[in-house]
Structure 1
Amino acid sequence: MENNKERNLELERLVFFSDAVVAIAITLLALDLKIAKASEDHLTFADIAASWQKFVAFFLSFLIIAVFWKIHHEFFVYIKQINGRLLFFNIGWLLFIVLLPFTTTLISAHFFDKPAMFLYSFNIFLITLFQNFIWDYASDHPEFMKETLTTEINKENRMSCNIAMGNGVLAIILSFISPVVAFVILFTRLLMFKLSAKLNKRPKRKRLK
């Protein structure tokens, strides 16, 4: 009983800490929203339009972090305990979540530059990679998972991770060819909202073994 309480406390602390870090990271994105005025006296619509890269970069990064948080939350609906390896994967995930506001400032200032888009795409890929590690490791250890996890949900989570990984790799490659196309490719991962929303609607079937 005491061991169960300790495991539950460790899991709760990890989830609460992760939520707090994500909240800070998503808030830091707004710090880059600055408009350079052509005139010191008046703000014009032209000034706002000239800063479109900042708003587009903010919008995409905000939604991407939201998607990552949503999937992370859905993962831990089924994870009931952690160990050092799973904690390491989660810390790696948080590391690159926190780095995203920085790489967002790069593409907001250098939207059409290949190095900026490469770093941004690589940052998102690394978040996806560690998120994939979290689910793969946990689901490969049945003792870490709740009985509510079904084989269908496990397959869907693995598939969503693989799709997101492919999206990140494709964006990295395209960042050397066309930064704009790479950005558009990253934007398509927002369809993951619809996919991840289905995970908790599946009927309970055969438990994962």
Structure 2
Amino acid sequence: MVNEINPDGINVKRIETLVDGVFAIALTLLVLGITVPSVTNPTEAVLYQSLVDLLPNFYGYFLSFCLLAVFWRINHSQFNRIKRADNTMLWIVILWLLFVALVPFSAFFIGEYGNYQISNIFFDLNLFAIGFLLFLNWYHAINSGLVDESEIKRGKSVLMVNLMLPAISLLAIAVTFLPFLKEYGYGWSNIVYLLIPFLKRFQ
């Protein structure tokens, strides 16, 4: 399939290039949330404990990296089927990238304050915005004739699967209000994101 340029002069390939660039930067910035411990008198025991103290930061890095990879993969799959773009799609993607670029901050936030409810809710809201705009982009593409007619039927069946991504983020927010997490740590609410790999079964 050859991507077309519409009368507004919007090239699908240029949008894909922008997306790839922002994702590359966001994925790279995630590692900055893990800083090498500054130890005055290092010993094996002290360095070991320093690494243990960094586990929440590693957790935030790993979780955010994997989730961004999932979102990039879904977007890549969408644009394999999108033959042209319009101004509405362009601005949906730009708004979407705004929240993608925010993920490193969200990851740092839960890395440093993962035992607090507000940091986890902020992280979940960030992912909700990314998931919802990803759904909205595909919904607009299908209903605005931006994909091949042969893809419309399958595309509509995938819509509900894409809507499950922001739904999982809302579920994660709801889980933070469970009473026992106040004692065991709000970071456990993010375990619901393990549901995402199972969405592939419905595509």
TM-score by length of 1: 0.83
Q: Alignment RMSD, CA only?
A: 2.1
Give the gaps of 5 or more residues in structure 2. Answer: none
1:36 matched to which residue of 2? Answer: 37
Q: Which residue of 2 aligns with 1:158?
A: 159
Residue 119 of structure 1 is matched in structure 2 by 122
Aligned partner of 1:97 in structure 2 is 100
Q: 36-45 vs 155-164, which deviates more?
A: 36-45
Looking at structure 1, the residues matched to 132 and 150 of structure 2 have their Cα atoms a distance apart, in angstroms, of: 25
In the other structure, the counterpart of 1:146 is 148
Amino acid of the structure 1 residue aligned with 2:42: D
Q: What is the CA-CA distance between 1:115 and the residue it aligns to?
A: 0.5
Which is worse superposed, 4-13 or 118-127?
4-13
Give CA deviations for 1:22-71 in whole Å, capped at 9, x if unaligned. 11001000111124355443462222112110111100100000000000
CA–CA separation in structure 1 for the residues paired with 2:48 and 2:139: 48
Letter matched to residue 151 of structure 2: L
Matched, 1:78 2:84: no
Letter in 2 for 1:85: T
Q: Does the C-alpha gap of structure 1 residues 98 and 40 become closer, same or farther in structure 2, counting only changes over 3 Å?
A: farther
1:1-209 mapped onto 2 (5 Å cutoff): 4-5=4-5, 10-37=11-38, 39-42=40-43, 44-142=47-145, 144-149=146-151, 151=153, 153-177=154-178, 178=181, 179-192=186-199, 194-195=200-201
Corresponding residue pairs, total: 191
CA distance in 2, matches of 1:10, 1:175: 42
Cα distance in 2 between the residues matched to 1:191 and 1:67: 12
Structure 2 length-normalised TM = 0.85
Q: Distance in 2 between matches of 1:150 and 1:86?
A: 17
CA separation of 1:146/1:113 partners in 2, compared to 1, >3 Å: closer, same or farther?
same
3-state secondary structure, aligned to 1:80:
coil
Native 8 Å contact 1:28 1:101 kept in 2 = yes
The one-letter amino acid of 1:64's match is L
Q: Percent identity?
A: 25
Opposite residue 60 of structure 1, the aligned amino acid is L
Any conservation in 2 of the 1:121–1:168 contact (CA below 8 Å)? yes
Q: Following the alignment from structure 2 to structure 1, what is the Cα–Cα distance between the partners of residues 24 and 41?
A: 34
Q: CA separation of 1:125/1:5 partners in 2, compared to 1, >3 Å: closer, same or farther?
A: closer
Unaligned runs of 5+ residues in structure 1 are 200-209
**Alpha-carbon distance between aligned partners in 1 of 2:144 and 2:50, rounded to the nearest angstrom:** 54
Q: Distance in 1 between matches of 2:19 and 2:49?
A: 39
SS at match of 1:149: helix
* Kept after mapping to 1: 8 A contact 2:109/2:119: yes
